[in-house]
């Protein structure tokens, strides 16, 4: 099976517009190929205490094709064919050799394989955007495991957009492996979008509810202040008759509204911080109590409240004081 993939990769690399190509049993964010225990050779810990790693079969150019940086060592090469070698993610390396460089050391994989570690890569999420960075072990295709019947081919190009590159890739695949079945074609942007689809739907619903709540709150603030000013027309008229100008009346009313808003925002921020863990599963790359996010939300809510209070305050400050006194 490996010779088939080797022929396929060579055909792709000779395709115009292709900078690099690789095959893998699983792309990032699409799950794991299989899971098994791993342990440094010589460690006599019982099997129940072995850390569990997620294994992926990849060809030699996989890391450069997908832009996964190497932290130490190097990727395996065709010159190492026949040797048992692996590349580990940083997470896997930290579980096997905490605070030590694993390059050049031997690693037990499952029950019956020992391989030499030749490189350590940056962590990549395998199971989804919400998952923690899993310990991943990358295995070359010439090991005893062999590629599964269904695998993914990754192609990188800096010269052609995906829509123009896709026909050339299909032609190269069919030339290398006549009768090959191509189930789907996706860019990595689409892979990421598919992985985030369910969370995007949930967050869209939350956004709709949040906007509805914001509009309702703004209308409520406007209505409460407008009703309050209707009851205070006589007071406002007296103030203006005694020398208060429109600016003073405007600032008075707006200040009263913003003080109430500030108290509400303070209480809301405390509740948001206390209950932030409930939304933790919906967040990616953002902490529940992120000060920048909370500050931006407080600024948005304060601005909406100020606008809702501004309109009735402006109307009240522009009223004729004599008319207000006569109406009272």
Q: What is the pLDDT of residues 29-56, one digit of tens each?
A: 887 778 889 999 888 888 888 999 888 8
Q: What is the pLDDT of residue 86?
A: 93
Tracing tokens 């940056």 back to the chain, one arrives at 122
DSSP character for 58?
A: B
pLDDT at 233: 67
Q: How far is residue 96 from each of residues 31, 47, 141, 196, 261, measured CA to CA in Å? A: 22, 14, 23, 31, 54
Q: What is the C-alpha to C-alpha distance for residues 60 and 251, in angstroms, rounded to an integer?
A: 70
- Where the chain has pLDDT below 70, the residues are 1-3, 129-131, 144-149, 229, 231-234, 236-237, 240-244, 276-286, 288, 316-328
Q: What is the pLDDT of residue 284?
A: 60
- Determine the Cα–Cα distance for residues 130 and 118; give it in Å rounded to an integer: 29
**pTM higher than 0.85 for the full model?**
no
> Which tens digit of pLDDT belongs to each residue from 253-309?
777 778 878 888 888 888 877 776 666 665 666 676 778 877 888 888 888 888 877
SS (H, E, C) 236-274: HHHHHHCCCCHHHHHHHHHHHHHHHHHHHHHHHHHHHHH
Residue 310's nearest CA partner among 218, 242, 199, 232 is 218
DSSP calls for 312-328: HHHHHHTS-HHHHHHH-
pLDDT score, position 158: 84
């Amino acid at each position: 099976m490996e010779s088939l993939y080797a022929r396929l990769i060579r055909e792709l690399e000779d395709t115009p517009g292709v900078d690099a190509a690789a095959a893998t049993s699983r792309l990032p964010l699409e799950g794991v190929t299989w899971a098994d225990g791993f342990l440094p050779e010589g460690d006599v810990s019982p099997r129940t205490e072995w850390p569990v790693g997620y294994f992926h079969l990849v060809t030699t150019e996989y890391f450069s094709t997908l832009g996964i940086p190497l932290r130490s060592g190097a990727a395996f090469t065709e010159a190492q064919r026949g040797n048992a070698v692996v590349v580990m993610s940083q997470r896997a390396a930290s579980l096997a050799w905490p605070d030590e460089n694993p390059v050049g050391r031997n690693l037990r994989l499952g029950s019956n394989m020992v391989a030499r570690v030749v490189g350590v890569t940056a962590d990549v999420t395998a199971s989804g955007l919400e998952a923690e960075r899993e310990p991943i072990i990358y295995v070359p295709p010439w090991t005893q495991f062999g590629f599964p019947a269904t695998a993914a081919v990754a192609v990188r190009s800096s010269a052609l957009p995906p829509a123009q590159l896709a026909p050339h890739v299909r032609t190269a695949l069919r030339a290398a492996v006549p009768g090959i079945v191509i189930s789907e074609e996706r860019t990595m942007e689409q892979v990421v979008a598919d992985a985030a689809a369910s969370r995007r739907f949930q967050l869209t619903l939350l956004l709709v509810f949040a906007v509805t709540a914001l509009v309702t709150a703004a209308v409520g603030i406007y209505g409460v202040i407008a009703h309050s000013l209707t009851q205070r027309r006589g007071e406002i008229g007296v103030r203006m008759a005694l020398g208060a100008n429109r600016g003073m009346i405007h600032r008075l009313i707006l200040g009263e509204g913003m003080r109430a808003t500030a108290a509400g925002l303070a209480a809301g921020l405390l509740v948001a911080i206390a209950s932030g863990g409930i939304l933790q599963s919906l967040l990616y790359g953002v902490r529940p109590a992120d000060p920048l996010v909370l500050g931006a939300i407080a600024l948005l809510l304060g601005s909406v409240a100020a606008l809702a209070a501004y309109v009735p305050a402006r109307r009240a400050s522009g009223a004729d004081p004599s008319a207000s006194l006569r109406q009272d």
